[in-house]
Amino acid sequence: MKFETLTLPENVREEYLIATYYMKSDSEPDLFDWVKLVAADQSAGTWTHVEGETPEVVEKYGAKVIGIYSMAQERACVARIAFPIANFPKYLPMIMSTVAGNVLGQDGIRLLDIEFPDSLIEDFPGPIMGIEGIRELLNVPERPIVGAILKPCIGVTPEVSAEGAAKAALGGAEIIKDDELQSDPDYSPMIERVRTVMKYLREIGKDKSVLYAVNITGERVLDRAKRAIDAGANAIMVNYQTLGWGVVEDMVRALKRENVTIPIFGHCAGMGAYYRSPVNGISTALSLGKLPRMIGMDMSLVYPDSGRFGIKTNELVEVHNMLTSPMGNLKRSFTTIAGGVHPGTIEYLMDLLGNETILMAGGGIYGHPMGPTAGARAILQAIEAVDAGFSVEEAAKSNKELDAALRYWSK
């Protein structure tokens, strides 16, 4: 029996999710047949007929090819395949096993997007606080949020981290986070670091107006989250890819059940292995945008197109749209730009993405020639200038911290 994948069901929008792939090959004899094989492999069929593969099974549980669009100047196509949601639980690891499992083991296949029916979207946890909740908490109604990444990130005591946090907060940083490399080393235990940073923030009157996202990445992450919160953490951070989609999704669901109301910062450590290739892996829009938002990241880190880890400009815009556009009942997530951000990049980033961002600097704050307080102040001065309709160069004439930053990083 031939595995039939071309019957388009009327209920495709309600009972199927739709995966869109870029597929390129100079060796596959027929791209059309290749797309059909992918649909079969990832659902109720395989490369040859097997016992039990009845027309009834294929009709009900087989994936359906609903679009194949040839590329003009290369032997490639964009393919859209609908997968019955009856085939998997409403849980991201199994969804990804379906649409990005064996299929991505082949050369020339890149998962571009997944369209979820409302019944699936509504079952995901989504952000705890989202953009609106964080803005209300910080009392920053419109402009971009100022973020700081604690530097040095490795080899320092909790006191050094706390001093750095306090200095950045005094300059106007509103969200301060651990580096993705800093979690729970012997020289800076997570709980001690939380308590020390929050103590320093209290002493300068910033513990209610500044969020400190402590990196809880590690084993038994839900337990770690609860211990960090009990120690005074007002935000937490996870490296969601290295922990695993399901682990993070489970953690957010559990925190929501317990009515926890602190935001979660999602760091994309390791995701570059998925999105860097233009012809393989998973698109940036999915891996940095839609999927982190679905599993509950209130703030999702994205590398700018201007930094050394940068993605392409169109990819940056696509990720931002995935995080901030309507998506069922899920709250919106902050696009958190980090990686080579300094005052000289602020105007470009705001012009490109608007105000629904956190503009976050590590070296761009802690490397300021006048120190981290001046570094954070320079970021804030640049944001406020652009928000008021001025260029950063104009604003630098009356702001010494901004002027020093522009001069220092002009090269």
Query: Residue 346 is encoded by which pair of tokens?
Result: 């602020």
Tokens 């945008």 locate to 289
267 part of the active site = yes
How far, in Å, are 93, 133, 259, 410 from residue 117 at the CA level?
A: 17, 26, 26, 48
**Active-site residue, 151 included:** yes
* Annotated catalytic residue within 151, 167, 226, 320: 151
Q: How many CB atoms lie within 10 A of CB 351?
A: 9
Contact between 271 and 291 under an 8 Å Cβ cutoff? The reply is: no
- Supply 304's token pair: 């700018």
Q: Given the residues 267, 290, 320, 342, select the one marked as catalytic.
A: 267
Count, residues in the chain: 411
SS3 330: coil
Residue 226, token pair as written in the block: 């609860």
Question: Which position has the token pair 């953009």?
Answer: 131
Instruction: Specify the long-range contacts of residues 196-200, CB closer than 8 Å, at least 24 apart.
Output: 196/158, 196/159, 196/161, 196/162, 197/158, 197/161, 197/162, 197/165, 198/231, 198/232, 198/233, 198/234, 199/162, 200/162, 200/163, 200/165, 200/166
CA distances to 17, 64, 123, 217, 251 from 120, in Å: 9, 18, 5, 27, 18
Catalytic positions, written as ranges: 151, 267
